[in-house]
Amino acid sequence: MTPAVATASSCARCTLHAESVFRVEGMCCGEEAAILQRRLTPLTGVEDIFADIVGQRLHVKYDAALLSTHVIVEAVAETGMRAWLEHEEPLVPPSAAARGVLVLISGLALAAGLGIQALGGPAPMSVSAFVVAALAGAVFPGRRALASLRIRDLDINVLMLVAVVGAMILREWAEAGTVVFLFAIAQWLESRSMDRARAAIRSLMSLTPDVARVRTDEHEETQPVEGLGLGTILIIRPGEKIPLDGVVVLGRSDVNQAPITGESLPIDKGPGDDVFAGTINGHGAMEVSVTRRRRDTTLARIIHLVETAQAQRAPAQQFIDRFARWYTPGVIVLAVLVATVPPLTMGMSFETWFYRALVLLVVACPCALVISTPVSIVSALAGAARRGVLVKGGIHLERLAAVRAMALDKTGTLTRASLAVTDVIAAAGSSEAEVLGSASAVEMRSEHPIAAAIVRESRGRHLSFTASSDVRALPGLGAQGLVDGQMVLCGNARLFRERGLLGPTAEALADRITASGASPVLIARDSVVLGVIGVADQERDVAADAIEHLHREGIRPIVMLTGDHESAARPIAARLGLDGVRAGLLPHEKVAAIQALRREHGVVAMVGDGVNDAPALAVADVGIAMGVIGSDAALETADVALMTDELSKLAYAIRLSRATVRNIRANIAISLVLKVAFVALAVTGLATLWMAVVADTGASIIVIANAMRLLRHD
Ligand code: ADP
Ligand code: MG
């Protein structure tokens, strides 16, 4: 125990929640994760520990009043692994070279021993060569074995050493040398393939440049991105990667946003448009004013979210953890029985059965099984992130695979986010300019797509208006605000009925708009109806296609949930081939509609815009927000976030989730079948020690390779 823990434990009230992320060298597999968990959990002040095996990271939530990071680092060091705070990573990873040399010595000694044996050389010479091979190869596993014994744990290293010592007792010198050498090679191969997986995943999050070209008065100079503040003017040349999020102030260009959104077509950017760190400038030069520091860029958030997503355990993982907990001790008990029962009760050869027990020991480590789920999930999440689909954890991926029915919001989801004003009709005593002007004053402060359409129309007509104060959004109904001391109300017929303003005038105005197929937005000032604005939305070009793909995946029913009027919603739903429409819904009615769908059809996904549809997204089994790039709220709340509003990504997400679940099942099956087969082969005496070693690591490598296929899944 470390002294810091003992002294601090007297202070129980002053909790100071903290979370630190450590990189851990030597944590390659579930075994080591379990060791760390067991070593750290008893530390006073530790609240939660999560080991991200694939990322080689350890997330520790703790009470900073009771525990400091260096106590954690020391505790990790006691297990034989090394940890450091993520941002303090050392430049040279230690011990890799020493390890390689020892493996080489082991291999050469083994070859020498086998050679001497084959040539009929003296036995003491070949035996000593085998012993050298065993000793050189056992240095690293031996260190690990000691560490795990110190915390009373039996990991693969301990089991392997016991097996090797046993082989030596049986005078199987060649076998002992071979097994150690193979084990060393196998572990090296396994950590190599894991490293490759890590590198592939990390490279997806293609990094942003470290330096940027900055405009200082009259000058241009290169400065490190890290220190750049908001409002700094960056000069982006053609073909360069954009270093920070910002807004274009000068110039025009096409920007390839694929690194963040997965969208293949470049987007036109001009003054006033947002650009994002990590995206690639096309043919034009631009000047961009920085809107976010390096740590807050959209890309940084995405990377952070993917990393935390990896840290969440999927349900399949929990099953495996439970299984692994009894598997290893179970096989060890079996090994003891195999070594003792047949010789003692049936008088069979002790040597034969002891050897079989040793093989069983090697088979007792379920390493491939333990990594089977995390590697699949991590590569699926990383592959999805590259295509602009952010899934917030394995659990959402598994639920997505089970989705039966889907509900989609209309405005901004099935239809284009930009609507058009079709009509402006003034009531007697008012004018079109007055109707649009007062509406725009309020709508300027609203984020609804309808609001943007109205404001755009007013700007197009060169009307002048000032933003109103005290604007309140009335979800599913409209918005209200104060303009020159008068209350202006904009919204649908339902809102006007609620406020007692839906007299014959208002109704007649609304009907004229509805008859044309558009949706009416009524405007009133101080309870006097000024007129109505007709807005129409247009379904997205790809929407019908996307729905068809979802149907082909067996998602049915697919229904539209909208707050809009039935007469505007029906024709769109019919053209898109939806299975149902629920119109005129308030946000809480959308929630009820989702619950009804779930009762009737099972797992339901809801697709919406993340801001207006937040309650419905939250209540669905999977909440999918669209077009979230640039909207932090939506990015944080949804279970699945689509960076752009490409509806085609929905079917991709479903396919990927199902492929992931299949991949996990295959991985579990591969590792279980191999283990069970080897337990049987070991008991019947058909398997040798070296075969068991090869099977053990072979399974891990197969599992990793299989999981990596998800990175490229389309
Ligand atoms: P959808 O479900 O189609 O996305 P919402 O629930 O966001 O629609 O809104 C439902 C209805 O409420 C809209 O069709 C419109 O009539 C009205 N509404 C909502 N917000 C506004 C606003 N800012 N201005 C005018 N009308 C609005
Ligand atoms: Mg909406």
What integer is the mean pLDDT of 33-45?
85
| pTM score of the predicted model | 0.80
What integer is the mean pLDDT of 380-396?
88
Q: For residue 581, which phi and psi values (nearest 5 degrees)?
A: -135, 135
pLDDT of the residue at 6: 32
Pocket-testing residue among 450, 456, 533, 581, ligand 1, by greatest number of atoms within 8 A of Cβ: 450
Ligand 1, atom nearest to 492 Cα: 16
Distance 480 CA to ligand 2 centre (A): 18
pLDDT of the residue at 17: 65
What integer is the mean pLDDT of 377-403?
90
* Assigned CATH topology for domain 4-85: Alpha-Beta Plaits (3.30.70)
State whether the beta carbon of 590 lies less than 6 angstroms from ligand 1.
Answer: no
User: Minimum-distance ligand to the CA of 561?
Assistant: 1
Contact 383, 354 (CB under 8 A): no
Q: What is the pLDDT of residues 544-553, one digit of tens each?
A: 999 999 999 9
Q: Which residue ranges make up each domain of the chain?
A: 4-85, 96-208, 211-296, 387-415+540-656, 416-538
State whether the beta carbon of 479 lies less than 6 angstroms from ligand 1.
Answer: yes
Give the integer Cα–Cα distance in Å for 325 and 327. Answer: 6
Ligand 1, atom nearest to 413 Cα: 4
Decide if pLDDT at 622 tops 60. yes
What integer is the mean pLDDT of 131-154?
83
pLDDT of the residue at 645: 83
Distance 638 CA to ligand 2 centre (A): 15
Pocket-testing residue among 477, 502, 617, ligand 1, by greatest number of atoms within 8 A of Cβ: 477
Q: In this structure, is the dihedral angle defined by the CA atoms of residues 316, 29, 382 and 613, taken in order, positive or negative?
A: positive
Most confident of 262-266, 307-311, 436-440, 636-640: 436-440
Q: Helix, strand or coil for residue 644? A: coil
Q: Of the listed 52, 155, 409, 537, which one is catalytic?
A: 409
Instruction: Give 681's Cβ-side CA count (13 Å radius).
Output: 17
What integer is the mean pLDDT of 646-653?
93
Q: In this structure, is the dihedral angle defined by the CA atoms of residues 493, 495, 496 and 500, taken in order, positive or negative?
A: positive
- 614 is written with which tokens? 């937040």
Q: Which CATH number fits domain 416-538: 3.90.25.10, 3.40.50.740, 3.20.20.80, 3.40.1110.10?
A: 3.40.1110.10
State whether the beta carbon of 492 lies less than 6 angstroms from ligand 1.
Answer: yes
Give residue for tokens 């009771």.
Answer: 66
Q: What is the CA radius of gyration of the chain?
A: 32
CA of residue 580 relative to chain centroid, distance: 32
**Residue 630 — very low, low, confident or very high, per pLDDT cuts 50/70/90?**
low
Q: What is the pLDDT of residues 567-615, one digit of tens each?
A: 889 999 999 999 999 999 988 899 999 999 999 999 999 998 766 788 8
Contact 608, 626 (CB under 8 A): yes
Decide if pLDDT at 526 tops 60. yes
State whether the beta carbon of 440 lies less than 6 angstroms from ligand 1.
Answer: no
Q: Which of 675, 667, 670 is nearest to 692 (CA)?
A: 675
* Assigned CATH topology for domain 211-296: 2.70.150
Exposed e or buried b per residue across 386-397, where buried means at least 16 C-beta atoms within 10 angstroms of its C-beta: bbbbbbbbbbbb
Helix, strand counts (H, E) of the chain: 24, 26
State whether the beta carbon of 612 lies less than 6 angstroms from ligand 1.
Answer: yes
What integer is the mean pLDDT of 164-189?
87
Residue 143 burial by Cβ neighbours in a 10 Å radius (0-12, 13-18, 19+): middle
pLDDT of the residue at 4: 33
Distance 304 CA to ligand 2 centre (A): 28
Active site residue 63: no
State whether the beta carbon of 399 lies less than 6 angstroms from ligand 1.
Answer: no
Nearest CA to ligand 1 atom 22: 478
Nearest CA to ligand 1 atom 21: 478
Distance 534 CA to ligand 1 centre (A): 13
Q: Which of 129, 121, 161 is nearest to 142 (CA)?
A: 161
Distance 563 CA to ligand 1 centre (A): 6
Considering only residues 427 and 94, tell me which one the structure prediction assigns the higher pLDDT.
Answer: 427
**Residue 182 — very low, low, confident or very high, per pLDDT cuts 50/70/90?**
confident
Pocket-testing residue among 409, 411, 418, 495, ligand 1, by greatest number of atoms within 8 A of Cβ: 411
| Residue 615: cis peptide before it, omega within 30 degrees of 0 | no
Distance 418 CA to ligand 2 centre (A): 12
Q: Which of 394, 326, 313 is nearest to 48 (CA)?
A: 313
What CA–CA distances, in Å, run from 436 to 388, 471, 506, 527, 530? 37, 16, 16, 16, 10
User: Minimum-distance ligand to the CA of 453?
Assistant: 1
Contact 30, 1 (CB under 8 A): no
The beta strands (E) that lie in 453-545 are given as: 469-474, 478-483, 486-491, 519-525, 528-536
Considering only residues 447 and 3, tell me which one the structure prediction assigns the higher pLDDT.
Answer: 447
State whether the beta carbon of 562 lies less than 6 angstroms from ligand 1.
Answer: yes
Give the integer Cα–Cα distance in Å for 489 and 439. Answer: 8
CA triple 103-106-111, angle to 5 deg: 125
Q: Helix, strand or coil for residue 534? A: strand
Nearest CA to ligand 1 atom 27: 478
Most confident of 58-67, 141-150, 340-349: 340-349
- Stretch (H or E) spanning 289: strand 286-290
State whether the beta carbon of 442 lies less than 6 angstroms from ligand 1.
Answer: no
Decide if pLDDT at 157 tops 70. yes
Nearest CA to ligand 1 atom 10: 563
CA of residue 414 relative to chain centroid, distance: 25
State whether the beta carbon of 610 lies less than 6 angstroms from ligand 1.
Answer: no
Q: What size, in residues, is the chain?
A: 714
Distance 612 CA to ligand 2 centre (A): 6
Distance 585 CA to ligand 1 centre (A): 10
Q: Which CATH number fits domain 387-415+540-656: 3.30.420.40, 3.40.50.1000, 3.30.70.2740, 3.10.20.30?
A: 3.40.50.1000
Q: Which of 638, 656, 701 is nearest to 386 (CA)?
A: 656
Q: What is the pLDDT of residues 333-380, one digit of tens each?
A: 999 999 999 999 988 888 899 999 989 888 887 778 878 888 898 889
Q: Helix, strand or coil for residue 93? A: coil
**Residue 643 — very low, low, confident or very high, per pLDDT cuts 50/70/90?**
confident
Ligand 1, atom nearest to 473 Cα: 23
Contact 70, 83 (CB under 8 A): no
Nearest CA to ligand 1 atom 20: 478
**Residue 15 — very low, low, confident or very high, per pLDDT cuts 50/70/90?**
very low
Distance 518 CA to ligand 2 centre (A): 16
558-561 and 580-582 as β-strands: parallel, antiparallel, unpaired?
parallel
β-pair partners for 211: 224
**Residue 311 — very low, low, confident or very high, per pLDDT cuts 50/70/90?**
low
Ligand 1, atom nearest to 563 Cα: 10
Q: Which of 348, 349, 356, 330 is nearest to 166 (CA)?
A: 356
Q: What is the pLDDT of residues 71-123, one digit of tens each?
A: 888 888 888 788 887 765 544 455 667 778 888 999 999 999 999 999 998 99
State whether the beta carbon of 451 lies less than 6 angstroms from ligand 1.
Answer: yes
Decide if pLDDT at 43 tops 80. yes
